[in-house]
Structure 1
Amino acid sequence: MSDAGQWCLIESDPGVFTELIRAFNVQGTQVEEVWSLDDQTLEELKPVYGLIFLFKWQGGNDSSRLHPEADLSVDENVYFAKQVINNACATQAILSILLNCPTIDLGAELDNFKDFTRLFDPYDKGLAITNSELIRGVHNSFARSDPFFLDQTDQSSSEKEDIFHFISYVPVQGALYELDGLSNGPVNLGPCTGDNWLEKVRPVIQERMSRYTSAEIRFNLLALIKNREDVYRTRIGEIDERMRHASNTNNSSELMQLSEERDQLLQRIEMEKVKFKRYERENSLRKHNFIQFIYNIIRILAERGELQAHIEYARKEMSKRIKDRAEKKKGESGSKN
């Protein structure tokens, strides 16, 4: 795999992923965070096109090694691309779902990309993703403007930051697949029908999480789902039809119940609009260059003679964090033994 190159790290956040998808010109979808794998939570999210799972990377825990019994042959119905560059796993996880769901409106550019690369082998698919100006540009739209770079080549292994990795789960042609760009191929986890793939994926994710110590809680699960406002408006249309029938039959009790359901859906639509406005603001802040702002704060503190005190405080805090981190890792090592 090549080095990080021109690909930035992507934050595991539903607002970030939703904007990435929209920037690809994909229609009618959004990303939601999944807080629980219980039936009620998953039912409220349906239809679910696929799941994106984030976990701490440990050498040798790619999907093909964790599922040695699985069929890794590349089915022509499955779009699988190898990850050939660092930091690309977030976007590849999104694409692994988008390019394997025929019911999603990909938009002209992604649709043409899928058609052009359809017969490529997995490695060449990965190269095509890396070399796509659209995909790389959308991915890097979240690159932070930062003139300060930490060179970890001189750091000890204990001082290096943990590495996290994204993979996808998606049903394709009646089978559940785990798609990991670092794996040797798409992992077929067995047959599935309809929405029951969500039941089948639950123990798979739980088993992955069980491989870590109880102290490791840094997991994140995102769902690519149908746009909620579209779902709610479809339900409102169905309710309107039922209300007309109830009105014609003078069924006042049903009419009242349907009216309440309709009002609740309208409230949900307004909540979705508020949420997307929040996403827009948060993403704007993520992309904003705060360097000039920070520079001026430092300059003012220096002029007031207050900078040195803040520097000393920061040094003490950093020393404390390094010590706490070392003790935590020592504790984790002891629990393994």
Structure 2
Amino acid sequence: MSNGWCTIESDPAVFTEMLEKFGVEGVAVEEVISLDPSSLEQLGTLHGLVLLFKYKGSKREVNYQPESGLYFAQQIVQNACATQALINIVMNRKDDGVTLGTTLQEFFDFTSGLDPATRGEQIGQSDKIREVHNSFTRSTVFSFEDVAAKDDDDVYHFVSFIFKHGAIWELDGLQPAPILCTNATDDDWRDKMITSVQSRIAEISAQDTTGQGQGISFSLLGVVADRIPALELELALLQSEEKPTTLVEAQLEQLRQEREQGRIENSRRRHNYVPMVVALLRALAEKGKLEGIIEEVKQKKAAQAQAGGKK
């Protein structure tokens, strides 16, 4: 955790519940497996994409557009990029089927007239936003808040891509303004977004110092219209018309189960397992089994190291 903000895992269940805690309605986050038109089409209404990648910090030649008319907040607080990636998307979609909820609507009203850097500062000073963000921290017995990152440490960063005002935009909180990727229309913006993201991935991959494509990793999430309310509405309509509902009921049940499983996984992420592990180790020690287990593990490690050295 840095400056009171923890790192966030790139997981659709984490991002979906984060939006729910902010009070955002009608939105969910799903993993994007493949960057092709059919995959994006299956997502339904797409509000934006969130790209996670290993950050190298190199300079870029890009088309900054300070007067884009977009809502854009710079990242002033370290580790806040995941939350800012989501905020930068939903703030620009509040008139397109996204209900911000009280927290983000009030934040939008307060910061809409500010410059990107000041908006970023206000995110850092928002107790509610920080509270929601940090509710997804993984529990640990130690705090490394004051430990400085090494030059060779892996640092990951989130950026957003949206379609608005006839263009595809990259919203990177580490940059001073929105980046114009390419112009687009209502007919071709999905294809243009795919091309823009692919271009960004290729640009990042070119920074790979291993020369074998192993130095960079990516994750892509789609911020989409929540399908559960739509299916609930469709189910109610079918029932009122006394039409078959089996298929819709099955789809709805599957989504509800997936959503609940995501909440369970999030709860597990937050749970502190350290006391349980300590109690287990203490019990093994009291029974005289701990030293034997440790010695067995050491022998296995030594055997693996020896086998690896013979290759």
Normalising by structure 1, what TM-score? Answer: 0.79
Question: C-alpha separation between the residues in 1 aligned to 2:168 and 2:127?
Answer: 31
Question: C-alpha separation between the residues in 2 aligned to 1:95 and 1:319?
Answer: 49
Amino acid in structure 2 at the alignment position of 1:10: I
Question: Secondary structure, in 3 states, of the residue corresponding to 1:51?
Answer: strand
More displaced, 138-147 or 126-135? 138-147
Kindly report which structure 2 residues correspond to 1:17-96, keeping only aligned pairs within 5 A, or say none. Answer: 17-60=15-58, 65=60, 68-75=61-68, 77-96=69-88
Kindly report which structure 2 residues correspond to 1:161-180, keeping only aligned pairs within 5 A, or say none. Answer: 162-180=154-172
Q: Is the 8 A contact 1:72 1:188 kept in 2?
A: yes
Question: Secondary structure, in 3 states, of the residue corresponding to 2:161?
Answer: strand
Amino acid in structure 1 at the alignment position of 2:76: V
Q: Residue by residue, what CA displacement relative to the aligned partner does 1:133-191 show, whole Å, maximum 9, x if unpaired? A: 11000000112332224589699645x3x111100001222221100001121101232
Question: C-alpha separation between the residues in 1 aligned to 2:283 and 2:72?
Answer: 53
Cα offset, 1:217, TM superposition: 6.2
User: What residue in structure 2 maps to residue 286 of structure 1?
Assistant: 269
More displaced, 168-177 or 28-37? 168-177
Q: Residues 146 and 100 (structure 1 numbering): CA distance in 2 closer, same or farther, change over 3 Å?
A: same
Cα offset, 1:9, TM superposition: 0.8
Q: Residues 209 and 175 (structure 1 numbering): CA distance in 2 closer, same or farther, change over 3 Å?
A: closer
Q: Residues 178 and 312 (structure 1 numbering): CA distance in 2 closer, same or farther, change over 3 Å?
A: farther
Structure 1 position 107 matched with structure 2 position 107:
no
Kindly report which structure 2 residues correspond to 1:306-321, keeping only aligned pairs within 5 A, or say none. Answer: 306-312=289-295
Count of residue pairs brought into register by the alignment: 297
User: What residue in structure 1 maps to residue 217 of structure 2?
Assistant: 218
Gaps of 5+ in 2: 206-211, 307-311
Question: Secondary structure, in 3 states, of the residue corresponding to 1:138?
Answer: helix
Amino acid in structure 1 at the alignment position of 2:267: S
Question: C-alpha separation between the residues in 2 aligned to 1:126 and 1:192?
Answer: 28
Normalising by structure 2, what TM-score? Answer: 0.85
Q: Residue by residue, what CA displacement relative to the aligned partner does 1:259-303 show, whole Å, maximum 9, x if unpaired? A: 4xx432221101011111101111111111112111101111211
Q: Residues 225 and 239 (structure 1 numbering): CA distance in 2 closer, same or farther, change over 3 Å?
A: same
Q: 1:145 aligns with which of 136, 139, 144?
A: 139
Identify, as 1 or 2, the structure richer in helix: 1
Question: Secondary structure, in 3 states, of the residue corresponding to 1:71?
Answer: coil
More displaced, 207-216 or 170-179? 207-216
Q: Residues 294 and 176 (structure 1 numbering): CA distance in 2 closer, same or farther, change over 3 Å?
A: same
Q: Is the 8 A contact 1:82 1:181 kept in 2?
A: yes
Q: Is the 8 A contact 2:139 2:269 kept in 1?
A: no
Cα offset, 1:314, TM superposition: 5.8
Q: Residues 132 and 279 (structure 1 numbering): CA distance in 2 closer, same or farther, change over 3 Å?
A: same
Amino acid in structure 1 at the alignment position of 2:123: I
Structure 1 position 270 matched with structure 2 position 253:
yes
Cα offset, 1:12, TM superposition: 0.5
Kindly report which structure 2 residues correspond to 1:228-243, keeping only aligned pairs within 5 A, or say none. Answer: 228-236=227-235
Q: Is the 8 A contact 1:72 1:184 kept in 2?
A: no
Q: Residue by residue, what CA displacement relative to the aligned partner does 1:57-79 show, whole Å, maximum 9, x if unpaired? A: 11225xxx1xx24133242x211
Q: 1:187 aligns with which of 179, 189, 194?
A: 179
Taking only aligned residues, the RMSD between alpha carbons, in angstroms, comes to: 2.9
Q: Residue by residue, what CA displacement relative to the aligned partner does 1:73-109 show, whole Å, maximum 9, x if unpaired? A: 242x211111111111100001010111122100122
Amino acid in structure 2 at the alignment position of 1:106: L
